[in-house]
Structure 1
Amino acid sequence: MSRTIPSLPIIRAAGASLAIVAFASVAQAQVPADMRSEARLVLRACSADYDRLCSDVTPGGGRILACLKGHPDQLSAACAQMMPRAQSLRDRAITAGVAPK
């Protein structure tokens, strides 16, 4: 069984989370490990939703998170459950200076 590695656009999509912001930012190396780990959880939960609903959204500045949150009735249960966590993660990334406002 082979495992597919997510492409950079998919990783950014989770940036419905920090992944988007962290991997797209200059401060990538400064992102704390716990935040990267949490971003991966959001990625796993929301990558299919991103592909289906927000793949045309330019990553950065919280746009993908806003797009996903703009489709609450169309999100998978797993992604919908992660939305508060994704928002909290984005807020923490901004406070830590590893994501643009």
Structure 2
Amino acid sequence: MIRKTLTIAIVLFAGSAHAQQAGQAQMQAAREICAPDMQRLCPGISPGGGKLKACIHEHASEFSKPCADAMKDVRAARKQ
């Protein structure tokens, strides 16, 4: 369930299919790096209905620096 939640969370930051292909390494790294933060900040939230996205935005300032940096890398890969 956590893996599915992380996958959905990371996909939120990678808009198009092309961007997802270009940034797969960044997305995988972000999933691994952000797993503890997601478990701590958004426990038990299932994807769907915008709840996970809202949780991520609500706690944006509380994510660890490595996780925040990983999400930034995913967003940068999306723009390429």
TM-score tier (shorter)? 0.5 to 0.7
Q: Is the 8 A contact 1:17 1:65 kept in 2?
A: no
Which structure shows the higher helix fraction? Answer: 2
User: 2:61 matched to 1:68?
Assistant: no
State the Cα RMSD in Å. 3.4
Aligned equivalents of 1:61 and 1:39: distance in 2?
A: 22
Q: Which has the higher contact order (CA 8 A, sep 6+)?
A: 2
The equivalent residue for 2:17 is none
Residue 9 of structure 1 is matched in structure 2 by: 2
2:68 counterpart of 1:80:
yes
Count, aligned residues: 73
Q: Which residue of 2 aligns with 1:41?
A: 29
The question of whether the paired residues in 1 share the 8 Å contact of 2:33 and 2:70 is answered with yes
- The answer for unaligned runs of 5 or more in structure 2 is 13-19
1:51 aligns with 2:39: yes
C-alpha contact 1:54 1:64 (8 A) present in aligned 2: yes
Task: State the alpha-carbon separation in 1 of the partners of residues 50 and 71 from structure 2.
Answer: 12
1:56-90: per-residue Cα shift (whole Å, max 9, x none)? Answer: 2221466434422321332111112233344x38x
Q: Which runs of 4+ in 1 moved over 6 A?
A: none
Q: Computing the radius of gyration over CA atoms, which structure comes out larger, 1 or 2?
A: 1
